[in-house]
Chains A and B, each alone.
Chain A
Amino acid sequence: MLSDITIGQMFPGNSLIHKLDARYKIVFTIIFMVMLFCANSLIGMAITLLFVIFIYLLAKIPLTMLLKSLKPIIPIVIFMTVFNVFFYSGETVIFKWGIIKLTLEGLKMTGVMMFRVISVISGTAMLTYTTSSIELTDAIESLMSPLKKVKFPVHDLSMMMTIALRFIPTLIEETDKIMSAQKSRGADFESGNIIKRAKALMPILIPLFLSAVTRAGELATAMESRCYRGGEGRTKMKQPKSDKRDYISLVFMIVLTALVISLNYIKF
Protein backbone atom coordinates (compact mmCIF):
# COMPACT_ATOMS: atom_id res chain seq x y z
CA MET A 1 0.00 0.00 0.00
CA LEU A 2 2.57 2.55 1.10
CA SER A 3 5.07 1.11 -1.32
CA ASP A 4 3.01 2.60 -4.15
CA ILE A 5 4.40 5.99 -3.21
CA THR A 6 7.28 6.88 -5.45
CA ILE A 7 8.91 10.21 -4.94
CA GLY A 8 10.61 11.67 -7.96
CA GLN A 9 9.73 8.55 -9.88
CA MET A 10 11.92 8.00 -12.88
CA PHE A 11 10.78 6.62 -16.18
CA PRO A 12 13.88 4.90 -17.58
CA GLY A 13 14.55 5.35 -21.24
CA ASN A 14 17.15 6.04 -23.83
CA SER A 15 15.83 9.15 -25.52
CA LEU A 16 17.62 12.41 -26.23
CA ILE A 17 15.98 13.94 -23.17
CA HIS A 18 17.25 11.11 -20.96
CA LYS A 19 20.75 11.55 -22.30
CA LEU A 20 20.99 15.27 -21.71
CA ASP A 21 23.33 16.42 -18.96
CA ALA A 22 21.29 16.70 -15.75
CA ARG A 23 22.80 20.13 -15.02
CA TYR A 24 21.49 21.40 -18.32
CA LYS A 25 18.12 19.85 -17.66
CA ILE A 26 17.81 21.79 -14.42
CA VAL A 27 18.72 25.01 -16.22
CA PHE A 28 16.24 24.15 -18.99
CA THR A 29 13.49 23.68 -16.41
CA ILE A 30 14.20 27.15 -15.05
CA ILE A 31 14.23 28.66 -18.55
CA PHE A 32 10.98 26.85 -19.28
CA MET A 33 9.34 28.42 -16.26
CA VAL A 34 10.46 31.87 -17.34
CA MET A 35 9.06 31.18 -20.79
CA LEU A 36 5.79 29.99 -19.31
CA PHE A 37 5.21 33.05 -17.18
CA CYS A 38 6.20 35.44 -19.91
CA ALA A 39 3.82 33.89 -22.40
CA ASN A 40 0.86 36.27 -22.56
CA SER A 41 -0.16 36.05 -26.18
CA LEU A 42 -2.35 33.29 -27.48
CA ILE A 43 0.27 32.13 -29.97
CA GLY A 44 2.96 32.22 -27.30
CA MET A 45 0.91 29.99 -25.07
CA ALA A 46 0.11 27.66 -27.92
CA ILE A 47 3.81 27.37 -28.71
CA THR A 48 4.59 26.60 -25.08
CA LEU A 49 1.92 23.93 -24.92
CA LEU A 50 3.11 22.39 -28.17
CA PHE A 51 6.63 22.45 -26.79
CA VAL A 52 5.53 20.45 -23.73
CA ILE A 53 3.79 17.89 -25.92
CA PHE A 54 6.81 17.74 -28.21
CA ILE A 55 9.13 17.05 -25.26
CA TYR A 56 6.87 14.28 -23.98
CA LEU A 57 6.81 12.65 -27.38
CA LEU A 58 10.57 12.99 -27.66
CA ALA A 59 11.15 11.41 -24.25
CA LYS A 60 8.62 8.67 -25.08
CA ILE A 61 6.81 9.19 -21.78
CA PRO A 62 3.28 7.77 -22.06
CA LEU A 63 0.53 10.35 -21.65
CA THR A 64 -1.01 8.29 -18.83
CA MET A 65 2.04 9.10 -16.71
CA LEU A 66 1.41 12.78 -17.26
CA LEU A 67 -2.27 12.47 -16.40
CA LYS A 68 -1.34 10.62 -13.22
CA SER A 69 0.93 13.42 -12.12
CA LEU A 70 -1.79 15.98 -12.87
CA LYS A 71 -4.40 14.15 -10.82
CA PRO A 72 -3.56 15.62 -7.41
CA ILE A 73 -3.96 19.19 -8.68
CA ILE A 74 -7.50 18.74 -10.01
CA PRO A 75 -9.13 20.18 -6.84
CA ILE A 76 -6.86 23.22 -7.03
CA VAL A 77 -7.73 23.76 -10.67
CA ILE A 78 -11.47 23.50 -9.97
CA PHE A 79 -11.19 25.90 -7.05
CA MET A 80 -9.28 28.42 -9.14
CA THR A 81 -11.68 28.09 -12.02
CA VAL A 82 -14.72 28.80 -9.87
CA PHE A 83 -13.12 31.85 -8.32
CA ASN A 84 -11.78 33.28 -11.52
CA VAL A 85 -14.84 32.67 -13.61
CA PHE A 86 -17.31 34.22 -11.23
CA PHE A 87 -15.43 36.80 -9.25
CA TYR A 88 -13.04 38.33 -11.73
CA SER A 89 -14.08 41.91 -12.35
CA GLY A 90 -14.25 42.28 -16.08
CA GLU A 91 -16.21 44.58 -18.30
CA THR A 92 -17.73 42.37 -20.95
CA VAL A 93 -20.49 40.76 -18.93
CA ILE A 94 -21.95 37.62 -20.38
CA PHE A 95 -24.15 36.57 -17.51
CA LYS A 96 -25.08 38.20 -14.22
CA TRP A 97 -26.85 36.96 -11.08
CA GLY A 98 -26.54 38.93 -7.84
CA ILE A 99 -22.89 39.51 -7.09
CA ILE A 100 -21.91 36.67 -9.35
CA LYS A 101 -21.11 37.64 -12.88
CA LEU A 102 -19.51 35.83 -15.72
CA THR A 103 -17.23 37.99 -17.84
CA LEU A 104 -15.18 37.38 -20.93
CA GLU A 105 -12.07 38.61 -19.13
CA GLY A 106 -12.76 36.18 -16.31
CA LEU A 107 -12.96 33.28 -18.73
CA LYS A 108 -9.74 34.34 -20.42
CA MET A 109 -7.96 34.66 -17.07
CA THR A 110 -9.12 31.20 -16.08
CA GLY A 111 -7.85 29.76 -19.33
CA VAL A 112 -4.45 31.35 -18.81
CA MET A 113 -4.24 30.11 -15.22
CA MET A 114 -5.14 26.54 -16.17
CA PHE A 115 -2.62 26.59 -18.96
CA ARG A 116 0.11 27.75 -16.58
CA VAL A 117 -0.61 25.29 -13.82
CA ILE A 118 -0.81 22.32 -16.17
CA SER A 119 2.33 23.35 -18.05
CA VAL A 120 4.35 24.01 -14.92
CA ILE A 121 3.53 20.59 -13.49
CA SER A 122 4.09 18.66 -16.68
CA GLY A 123 7.26 20.59 -17.49
CA THR A 124 8.91 20.08 -14.13
CA ALA A 125 7.73 16.46 -13.92
CA MET A 126 9.70 15.87 -17.09
CA LEU A 127 12.89 16.56 -15.15
CA THR A 128 12.24 13.82 -12.58
CA TYR A 129 10.85 11.42 -15.21
CA THR A 130 14.05 11.46 -17.21
CA THR A 131 16.72 11.97 -14.55
CA SER A 132 17.75 9.51 -11.84
CA SER A 133 17.91 10.86 -8.32
CA ILE A 134 21.66 10.41 -8.13
CA GLU A 135 22.17 12.36 -11.37
CA LEU A 136 19.92 15.05 -9.96
CA THR A 137 21.80 15.42 -6.67
CA ASP A 138 25.14 15.37 -8.49
CA ALA A 139 23.87 18.05 -10.85
CA ILE A 140 22.66 20.22 -7.99
CA GLU A 141 26.03 19.84 -6.28
CA SER A 142 27.81 20.80 -9.47
CA LEU A 143 25.54 23.78 -10.18
CA MET A 144 25.88 25.04 -6.63
CA SER A 145 29.64 24.55 -6.43
CA PRO A 146 30.39 28.27 -6.91
CA LEU A 147 28.73 28.75 -3.52
CA LYS A 148 31.61 26.82 -1.94
CA LYS A 149 33.59 30.06 -2.14
CA VAL A 150 31.30 31.65 0.41
CA LYS A 151 31.65 28.53 2.59
CA PHE A 152 28.20 27.18 1.80
CA PRO A 153 28.25 23.41 2.60
CA VAL A 154 27.39 22.28 -0.93
CA HIS A 155 28.81 18.78 -0.63
CA ASP A 156 27.16 18.11 2.71
CA LEU A 157 23.82 19.21 1.32
CA SER A 158 24.04 16.87 -1.65
CA MET A 159 25.22 14.01 0.59
CA MET A 160 22.18 14.61 2.77
CA MET A 161 19.90 14.51 -0.25
CA THR A 162 21.48 11.30 -1.49
CA ILE A 163 21.08 9.59 1.87
CA ALA A 164 17.51 10.83 2.21
CA LEU A 165 16.66 9.43 -1.22
CA ARG A 166 18.39 6.17 -0.38
CA PHE A 167 16.41 5.74 2.85
CA ILE A 168 12.94 6.77 1.66
CA PRO A 169 12.06 3.29 0.37
CA THR A 170 13.67 1.62 3.40
CA LEU A 171 11.68 3.74 5.83
CA ILE A 172 8.45 3.31 3.87
CA GLU A 173 8.94 -0.43 4.07
CA GLU A 174 9.56 -0.17 7.76
CA THR A 175 6.46 1.97 8.32
CA ASP A 176 4.43 -0.70 6.56
CA LYS A 177 5.88 -3.35 8.88
CA ILE A 178 5.25 -1.32 12.02
CA MET A 179 1.68 -0.59 10.91
CA SER A 180 1.01 -4.26 10.34
CA ALA A 181 2.55 -5.11 13.69
CA GLN A 182 0.39 -2.55 15.50
CA LYS A 183 -2.72 -3.58 13.59
CA SER A 184 -2.18 -7.19 14.55
CA ARG A 185 -2.24 -6.05 18.16
CA GLY A 186 -5.58 -4.37 17.63
CA ALA A 187 -4.54 -0.81 16.75
CA ASP A 188 -7.18 1.06 14.78
CA PHE A 189 -6.03 3.71 12.30
CA GLU A 190 -9.18 4.13 10.26
CA SER A 191 -12.00 5.18 12.54
CA GLY A 192 -12.69 8.17 14.77
CA ASN A 193 -12.24 11.88 14.26
CA ILE A 194 -9.06 13.61 13.21
CA ILE A 195 -7.65 13.96 16.71
CA LYS A 196 -8.30 10.31 17.45
CA ARG A 197 -6.63 9.27 14.23
CA ALA A 198 -3.64 11.51 14.86
CA LYS A 199 -3.26 9.94 18.28
CA ALA A 200 -3.43 6.50 16.71
CA LEU A 201 -0.37 7.42 14.67
CA MET A 202 1.84 7.78 17.73
CA PRO A 203 2.50 4.02 18.07
CA ILE A 204 3.79 4.13 14.51
CA LEU A 205 5.85 7.28 14.72
CA ILE A 206 7.71 6.49 17.93
CA PRO A 207 9.20 3.16 16.81
CA LEU A 208 9.88 4.66 13.39
CA PHE A 209 11.84 7.55 14.87
CA LEU A 210 13.74 5.29 17.21
CA SER A 211 14.79 3.01 14.42
CA ALA A 212 15.70 5.95 12.19
CA VAL A 213 18.05 7.25 14.87
CA THR A 214 19.65 3.82 15.27
CA ARG A 215 20.03 3.55 11.51
CA ALA A 216 21.65 6.98 11.37
CA GLY A 217 24.19 5.95 13.99
CA GLU A 218 25.07 2.73 12.24
CA LEU A 219 25.27 4.41 8.86
CA ALA A 220 27.64 7.03 10.26
CA THR A 221 29.94 4.30 11.58
CA ALA A 222 29.82 2.48 8.26
CA MET A 223 30.62 5.68 6.38
CA GLU A 224 33.53 6.45 8.66
CA SER A 225 34.82 2.92 8.16
CA ARG A 226 34.84 3.62 4.47
CA CYS A 227 37.03 6.67 4.98
CA TYR A 228 34.33 9.33 4.67
CA ARG A 229 35.62 12.73 5.77
CA GLY A 230 33.43 15.28 4.05
CA GLY A 231 33.76 16.76 0.61
CA GLU A 232 37.40 17.74 0.71
CA GLY A 233 39.66 15.81 -1.65
CA ARG A 234 36.73 13.71 -2.80
CA THR A 235 36.47 12.53 -6.39
CA LYS A 236 33.49 11.26 -8.37
CA MET A 237 33.28 8.07 -10.35
CA LYS A 238 30.87 9.63 -12.80
CA GLN A 239 32.06 12.99 -14.04
CA PRO A 240 29.30 15.20 -15.35
CA LYS A 241 29.80 15.57 -19.08
CA SER A 242 28.18 18.00 -21.42
CA ASP A 243 28.47 17.79 -25.19
CA LYS A 244 27.08 19.13 -28.42
CA ARG A 245 23.48 18.07 -27.84
CA ASP A 246 23.41 20.01 -24.56
CA TYR A 247 24.68 23.20 -26.19
CA ILE A 248 22.28 22.87 -29.10
CA SER A 249 19.36 22.31 -26.72
CA LEU A 250 20.39 25.35 -24.71
CA VAL A 251 20.42 27.56 -27.78
CA PHE A 252 17.06 26.14 -28.83
CA MET A 253 15.56 26.87 -25.42
CA ILE A 254 16.81 30.45 -25.41
CA VAL A 255 15.58 31.13 -28.94
CA LEU A 256 12.18 29.65 -28.12
CA THR A 257 11.86 31.77 -24.99
CA ALA A 258 12.87 34.90 -26.87
CA LEU A 259 10.28 34.10 -29.50
CA VAL A 260 7.52 33.57 -26.95
CA ILE A 261 8.39 36.83 -25.18
CA SER A 262 8.58 38.87 -28.38
CA LEU A 263 5.18 37.52 -29.45
CA ASN A 264 3.72 39.50 -26.53
CA TYR A 265 4.60 42.74 -28.29
CA ILE A 266 3.46 41.88 -31.76
CA LYS A 267 -0.07 42.81 -32.68
CA PHE A 268 -1.85 40.76 -35.27
Chain B
Amino acid sequence: MAEHFISCKNVCFNYEGRSDAALKNVSLNIDKGELVAVLGHNGSGKSTLAKHLNGILTAQSGDVEVAGYNTKDENNIFNLRSRVGMVFQNPDNQLVATIVEEDVAFALENLGVEPKEIRKRVDEALEAVGMSEFKLSQPHKLSGGQKQRVAIAGVLAMSPDCIVLDEPTAMLDPKGRAQVMDTIIKLNRERGITVVLITHFMEEAALCDRIVVMNDGEVFLDGEPKEVFKHAQKLKDVGLAVPDVTSLCNSLQKLGVEIETSINKDEFIENIQKLLIG
Protein backbone atom coordinates (compact mmCIF):
# COMPACT_ATOMS: atom_id res chain seq x y z
CA MET B 1 0.00 0.00 0.00
CA ALA B 2 2.42 2.64 1.18
CA GLU B 3 4.37 3.26 -2.00
CA HIS B 4 3.84 6.99 -1.74
CA PHE B 5 4.58 8.99 1.38
CA ILE B 6 1.40 11.00 1.02
CA SER B 7 -1.49 9.66 -0.94
CA CYS B 8 -4.85 11.34 -1.29
CA LYS B 9 -7.58 9.33 -2.96
CA ASN B 10 -10.76 10.99 -4.20
CA VAL B 11 -10.81 13.37 -1.25
CA CYS B 12 -13.93 15.48 -0.86
CA PHE B 13 -14.52 18.07 1.83
CA ASN B 14 -17.27 20.55 2.55
CA TYR B 15 -17.13 23.24 5.21
CA GLU B 16 -20.32 23.31 7.21
CA GLY B 17 -22.83 25.82 5.93
CA ARG B 18 -21.14 26.19 2.56
CA SER B 19 -22.85 25.05 -0.59
CA ASP B 20 -19.78 24.53 -2.77
CA ALA B 21 -17.22 21.93 -1.81
CA ALA B 22 -13.77 23.06 -0.68
CA LEU B 23 -12.20 19.91 -2.10
CA LYS B 24 -13.72 17.99 -4.98
CA ASN B 25 -12.40 14.54 -5.61
CA VAL B 26 -8.76 15.40 -5.11
CA SER B 27 -6.28 12.63 -5.82
CA LEU B 28 -2.64 13.36 -5.29
CA ASN B 29 0.50 11.41 -4.50
CA ILE B 30 3.64 12.84 -3.02
CA ASP B 31 6.82 10.83 -2.58
CA LYS B 32 9.38 10.96 0.17
CA GLY B 33 11.90 13.76 -0.19
CA GLU B 34 9.90 15.79 -2.68
CA LEU B 35 9.70 19.58 -2.52
CA VAL B 36 6.21 20.33 -3.72
CA ALA B 37 4.51 23.69 -4.05
CA VAL B 38 0.74 23.84 -3.96
CA LEU B 39 -0.39 26.95 -5.79
CA GLY B 40 -3.76 28.55 -6.08
CA HIS B 41 -5.60 31.79 -5.53
CA ASN B 42 -7.71 32.43 -2.43
CA GLY B 43 -10.45 29.88 -1.93
CA SER B 44 -8.92 27.33 -4.27
CA GLY B 45 -8.83 24.76 -1.49
CA LYS B 46 -5.09 24.71 -0.98
CA SER B 47 -5.20 25.43 2.75
CA THR B 48 -8.01 22.91 3.20
CA LEU B 49 -5.83 20.33 1.49
CA ALA B 50 -2.95 21.18 3.84
CA LYS B 51 -5.12 20.65 6.90
CA HIS B 52 -5.98 17.18 5.63
CA LEU B 53 -2.36 16.12 5.63
CA ASN B 54 -2.05 15.93 9.42
CA GLY B 55 -5.61 15.08 10.26
CA ILE B 56 -6.82 18.47 11.49
CA LEU B 57 -9.56 18.00 8.93
CA THR B 58 -10.58 14.58 7.72
CA ALA B 59 -11.97 13.73 4.33
CA GLN B 60 -15.73 13.38 4.15
CA SER B 61 -15.31 10.87 1.39
CA GLY B 62 -12.11 9.36 0.08
CA ASP B 63 -8.95 8.71 2.07
CA VAL B 64 -5.74 10.46 2.97
CA GLU B 65 -2.82 8.26 3.92
CA VAL B 66 0.36 9.78 5.20
CA ALA B 67 3.41 7.85 6.36
CA GLY B 68 1.32 4.71 6.37
CA TYR B 69 -1.35 6.14 8.68
CA ASN B 70 -4.86 6.88 7.57
CA THR B 71 -5.66 10.37 8.85
CA LYS B 72 -9.07 9.15 9.98
CA ASP B 73 -7.45 6.76 12.41
CA GLU B 74 -7.95 8.50 15.78
CA ASN B 75 -5.63 6.09 17.59
CA ASN B 76 -2.62 7.06 15.55
CA ILE B 77 -3.33 10.75 15.20
CA PHE B 78 -0.39 11.82 17.39
CA ASN B 79 1.99 9.40 15.67
CA LEU B 80 0.92 10.98 12.43
CA ARG B 81 1.28 14.55 13.68
CA SER B 82 4.73 13.92 15.06
CA ARG B 83 5.82 12.84 11.58
CA VAL B 84 4.05 15.60 9.65
CA GLY B 85 4.87 19.01 11.06
CA MET B 86 2.70 21.94 10.18
CA VAL B 87 3.63 25.63 9.98
CA PHE B 88 0.92 28.25 9.59
CA GLN B 89 0.59 31.65 8.05
CA ASN B 90 0.51 33.99 11.03
CA PRO B 91 3.71 33.60 13.02
CA ASP B 92 2.16 35.31 16.05
CA ASN B 93 -0.64 32.82 16.37
CA GLN B 94 1.39 29.64 16.52
CA LEU B 95 4.01 30.40 19.13
CA VAL B 96 2.87 29.22 22.54
CA ALA B 97 5.61 29.98 25.02
CA THR B 98 7.11 33.26 26.19
CA ILE B 99 10.67 32.20 25.41
CA VAL B 100 11.94 30.92 22.05
CA GLU B 101 13.56 27.72 23.30
CA GLU B 102 10.53 26.87 25.43
CA ASP B 103 8.37 27.18 22.35
CA VAL B 104 10.60 24.90 20.30
CA ALA B 105 10.42 22.40 23.16
CA PHE B 106 6.61 22.51 23.23
CA ALA B 107 5.95 19.62 20.81
CA LEU B 108 8.57 17.41 22.43
CA GLU B 109 7.13 18.08 25.88
CA ASN B 110 3.73 17.07 24.54
CA LEU B 111 5.19 13.85 23.21
CA GLY B 112 6.70 13.06 26.60
CA VAL B 113 10.34 13.02 25.52
CA GLU B 114 13.04 12.87 28.22
CA PRO B 115 14.21 16.34 29.39
CA LYS B 116 17.84 15.75 28.36
CA GLU B 117 16.81 14.60 24.90
CA ILE B 118 14.50 17.63 24.55
CA ARG B 119 17.39 19.96 25.36
CA LYS B 120 19.53 18.33 22.70
CA ARG B 121 16.89 18.36 19.99
CA VAL B 122 15.81 21.93 20.74
CA ASP B 123 19.38 23.14 20.34
CA GLU B 124 19.76 21.18 17.10
CA ALA B 125 16.51 22.49 15.67
CA LEU B 126 17.38 26.10 16.48
CA GLU B 127 20.80 25.59 14.94
CA ALA B 128 19.24 24.18 11.76
CA VAL B 129 17.11 27.28 11.21
CA GLY B 130 19.89 29.65 12.25
CA MET B 131 18.15 30.98 15.34
CA SER B 132 20.49 29.70 18.06
CA GLU B 133 21.52 33.15 19.21
CA PHE B 134 17.89 34.05 19.89
CA LYS B 135 17.06 31.02 21.99
CA LEU B 136 16.43 33.08 25.13
CA SER B 137 14.59 35.90 23.37
CA GLN B 138 10.92 36.65 23.71
CA PRO B 139 8.92 35.85 20.55
CA HIS B 140 7.25 39.24 20.36
CA LYS B 141 10.61 40.94 20.06
CA LEU B 142 11.56 39.00 16.91
CA SER B 143 10.90 39.98 13.30
CA GLY B 144 8.29 38.12 11.26
CA GLY B 145 10.87 36.04 9.42
CA GLN B 146 12.58 35.12 12.67
CA LYS B 147 9.30 34.14 14.30
CA GLN B 148 8.45 31.95 11.33
CA ARG B 149 11.84 30.25 11.56
CA VAL B 150 11.19 29.59 15.25
CA ALA B 151 7.89 28.02 14.23
CA ILE B 152 9.75 25.82 11.74
CA ALA B 153 12.24 24.87 14.47
CA GLY B 154 9.25 23.96 16.64
CA VAL B 155 8.09 21.30 14.21
CA LEU B 156 11.61 20.34 13.18
CA ALA B 157 12.38 19.37 16.79
CA MET B 158 9.92 16.49 16.41
CA SER B 159 12.23 15.25 13.59
CA PRO B 160 9.33 14.85 11.20
CA ASP B 161 9.55 13.16 7.79
CA CYS B 162 7.48 15.89 6.27
CA ILE B 163 6.73 19.55 6.88
CA VAL B 164 3.59 21.17 5.53
CA LEU B 165 3.78 24.95 5.36
CA ASP B 166 0.56 26.87 4.86
CA GLU B 167 1.54 30.18 3.26
CA PRO B 168 4.41 30.70 5.68
CA THR B 169 5.64 33.84 3.92
CA ALA B 170 2.34 35.59 3.24
CA MET B 171 2.71 38.02 6.15
CA LEU B 172 6.44 38.65 5.82
CA ASP B 173 8.54 41.35 4.21
CA PRO B 174 10.81 40.36 1.29
CA LYS B 175 13.80 39.84 3.57
CA GLY B 176 11.88 37.57 5.94
CA ARG B 177 10.46 35.73 2.96
CA ALA B 178 13.90 35.00 1.59
CA GLN B 179 15.11 33.76 5.00
CA VAL B 180 12.19 31.40 5.34
CA MET B 181 12.50 30.06 1.79
CA ASP B 182 16.23 29.46 2.24
CA THR B 183 15.52 27.53 5.42
CA ILE B 184 12.82 25.42 3.79
CA ILE B 185 14.95 24.52 0.79
CA LYS B 186 17.95 23.73 2.98
CA LEU B 187 15.89 21.34 5.11
CA ASN B 188 14.67 19.55 2.02
CA ARG B 189 18.06 19.30 0.31
CA GLU B 190 20.20 18.49 3.33
CA ARG B 191 17.89 16.39 5.45
CA GLY B 192 15.64 14.91 2.82
CA ILE B 193 12.53 16.19 4.57
CA THR B 194 9.48 16.08 2.36
CA VAL B 195 8.12 19.60 2.02
CA VAL B 196 4.66 20.65 0.96
CA LEU B 197 4.64 24.40 0.52
CA ILE B 198 1.27 26.07 0.16
CA THR B 199 1.80 29.45 -1.45
CA HIS B 200 0.49 31.98 -3.89
CA PHE B 201 3.88 33.37 -4.80
CA MET B 202 5.03 32.12 -8.20
CA GLU B 203 8.65 32.93 -7.43
CA GLU B 204 8.55 30.58 -4.44
CA ALA B 205 6.83 27.84 -6.38
CA ALA B 206 9.51 28.13 -9.07
CA LEU B 207 12.11 27.08 -6.50
CA CYS B 208 10.35 23.75 -5.89
CA ASP B 209 10.73 20.43 -7.71
CA ARG B 210 7.07 20.12 -8.51
CA ILE B 211 4.04 22.35 -8.62
CA VAL B 212 0.46 21.36 -7.99
CA VAL B 213 -2.00 24.04 -9.06
CA MET B 214 -5.35 23.99 -7.32
CA ASN B 215 -8.48 25.65 -8.62
CA ASP B 216 -12.00 25.44 -7.24
CA GLY B 217 -11.13 22.51 -5.03
CA GLU B 218 -9.61 20.47 -7.80
CA VAL B 219 -6.10 19.69 -8.96
CA PHE B 220 -5.77 21.84 -12.04
CA LEU B 221 -2.18 21.27 -13.12
CA ASP B 222 0.56 19.05 -11.72
CA GLY B 223 4.14 18.80 -12.89
CA GLU B 224 7.62 20.26 -12.87
CA PRO B 225 7.74 24.07 -12.70
CA LYS B 226 8.87 24.28 -16.32
CA GLU B 227 6.00 22.11 -17.50
CA VAL B 228 3.42 23.98 -15.44
CA PHE B 229 4.66 27.41 -16.49
CA LYS B 230 4.24 26.49 -20.15
CA HIS B 231 0.52 26.85 -19.59
CA ALA B 232 0.70 30.59 -19.05
CA GLN B 233 -2.76 31.22 -20.44
CA LYS B 234 -4.37 28.45 -18.41
CA LEU B 235 -2.77 29.79 -15.27
CA LYS B 236 -3.97 33.27 -16.09
CA ASP B 237 -7.49 31.93 -16.38
CA VAL B 238 -7.38 30.74 -12.79
CA GLY B 239 -5.95 34.00 -11.51
CA LEU B 240 -2.27 33.12 -11.43
CA ALA B 241 0.59 34.70 -13.32
CA VAL B 242 3.81 32.96 -14.33
CA PRO B 243 7.09 34.59 -13.21
CA ASP B 244 8.17 37.53 -15.36
CA VAL B 245 11.11 35.73 -16.95
CA THR B 246 8.93 32.79 -17.91
CA SER B 247 6.39 35.11 -19.40
CA LEU B 248 9.20 36.77 -21.39
CA CYS B 249 10.40 33.39 -22.65
CA ASN B 250 6.91 32.46 -23.73
CA SER B 251 6.59 35.71 -25.69
CA LEU B 252 9.95 35.18 -27.34
CA GLN B 253 8.97 31.63 -28.29
CA LYS B 254 5.84 32.96 -29.89
CA LEU B 255 7.99 35.32 -31.95
CA GLY B 256 9.93 32.36 -33.17
CA VAL B 257 12.99 32.69 -30.99
CA GLU B 258 14.14 29.22 -29.99
CA ILE B 259 14.80 29.88 -26.35
CA GLU B 260 14.24 27.29 -23.64
CA THR B 261 11.59 28.11 -21.03
CA SER B 262 13.31 29.57 -17.98
CA ILE B 263 11.83 29.89 -14.54
CA ASN B 264 14.33 32.18 -12.89
CA LYS B 265 16.68 35.02 -13.78
CA ASP B 266 19.94 33.05 -13.69
CA GLU B 267 18.57 30.35 -15.91
CA PHE B 268 17.24 32.94 -18.31
CA ILE B 269 20.60 34.65 -18.60
CA GLU B 270 22.24 31.29 -19.23
CA ASN B 271 19.74 30.43 -21.94
CA ILE B 272 20.13 33.81 -23.62
CA GLN B 273 23.91 33.37 -23.64
CA LYS B 274 23.51 29.90 -25.11
CA LEU B 275 21.30 31.34 -27.80
CA LEU B 276 23.58 34.24 -28.67
CA ILE B 277 26.94 32.50 -28.44
CA GLY B 278 25.62 29.22 -29.68
Q: Does B111 contact A (CB under 8 A)?
A: yes
A234 interface neighbour in B92, B94, B102, B109, Cβ under 8 Å: B109
Q: State which of B96, B115, B122 has its C-beta within 8 Å of the C-beta of A235.
A: B115
Binds B, one of A72-80, A93-101, A224-232: A224-232
Bound complex: CA A143 to CA B88 (Å)? 35
Min CB–CB distance A14 → chain B (angstroms): 13
* Interface residues on chain B, size class: 35 or more
B35 contacts chain A at the CB level, 8 A cutoff? no
Does the CB pair A225–B56 fall under 8 Å?
yes
- Contacting A at CB under 8 A, from B138-165, are 138-140, 154-155, 158
Binds B, one of A20-28, A59-67, A161-169: A161-169
A169, A222, A234, A238 interface centre (most CB from chain B within 10 Å): A222
Q: Are the CB atoms of B54 and A225 closer together than 8 Å?
A: yes
**Docked-complex contact B115 and A222, CB < 8 angstroms:** no
Q: Choose one: B51, B94, B98, B122; the contact of A134 (CB below 8 Å).
A: B98
Asked if A226 and B155 make an inter-chain contact with CB atoms under 8 angstroms apart, the answer reads yes
B window 83-127: CB within 8 A of A: 85-86, 88, 90, 92-99, 101-102, 105-115, 118-119, 122
Type the 1/0 row for B62-83, where 1 means its CB is closer than 8 Å to any CB of A.
Answer: 0000000000000000100110
B158 / chain A contacts, CB cutoff of 8 Å: 226-227
Check if A229 sits within 8 Å of B78, measured CB to CB: yes
Residues of B within 8 A of A145 (CB): none
Nearest CB of chain A from residue B151's CB, rounded to whole Å: 8
| B106 surroundings in chain A (CB, below 8 A) | 223, 226, 228
Give B31-58 as 1s and 0s: 1 = Cβ < 8 Å from A's Cβ atoms.
0000000000000000000010010100
* Docked pose: A54 CA to B96 CA in angstroms: 37
- Cα separation A237 to B95 with both chains bound (whole Å): 17
Interface size on A, residues (CB 8 A): 30
In the bound assembly, the distance between CA atoms of A215 and B50 in angstroms comes to 19
Give the Cβ gap from A119 to chain B, nearest Cβ, in Å.
29
Query: In the assembled complex, how far is the CB of residue B134 from the closest CB belonging to chain A, in whole angstroms?
Result: 15
Tell whether, in the assembled complex, residue A237 and residue B93 are in contact, meaning their CB atoms are under 8 Å apart.
Answer: no
Q: Given A225-B86, A227-B82, A235-B118, is A163 in contact with B96 using a C-beta cutoff of 8 Å?
A: yes
Instruction: Point out the residues of chain A lying under 8 angstroms from B90, CB to CB.
Output: 215, 218
- B98 pairs with A170, CB closer than 8 A: no
Q: Is the CB of B96 within 8 A of A162?
A: yes
A235 to B108, CA, bound (A): 8
How many angstroms between the C-alpha atoms of A88 and B138 in the bound complex?
50
The listed residue with most B CB atoms (<10 A of its CB), out of A218, A219, A225, is: A225
**Which of chain B's residues has its CB closest to A223's CB?**
B96
Residues of B within 8 A of A226 (CB): 81, 85-86, 96, 106-107, 110, 154-155, 158
Q: Is the CB of B88 within 8 A of A218?
A: yes
B115 cross-chain contacts in A, Cβ below 8 A:
235-239
CA distance A243 to B54 in the complex (A): 43
Contacts of A233 in B (CB 8 A): 112
Instruction: Say yes or no: B96 contacts A219, CB within 8 Å.
Output: yes
Chain A neighbourhood of B85, CB < 8 A:
225-226
User: 9 additional contacts, CB 8 Å, given A226-B96, A227-B82?
Assistant: A132-B99, A173-B140, A218-B88, A218-B93, A219-B94, A221-B51, A225-B85, A235-B112, A237-B122
Q: List 11 A-B contacts (CB under 8 A).
A: A132-B98, A134-B102, A215-B92, A215-B93, A218-B93, A222-B93, A223-B106, A225-B86, A228-B106, A235-B118, A237-B115
Partner-B contacts on A (CB < 8 A): 132-134, 162-163, 165-166, 169-170, 173, 214-215, 218-219, 221-229, 233-239
Q: Top 10 closest A-B pairs, CB basis?
A: A222-B94, A226-B107, A218-B93, A225-B86, A237-B105, A169-B140, A237-B118, A227-B110, A233-B112, A166-B98
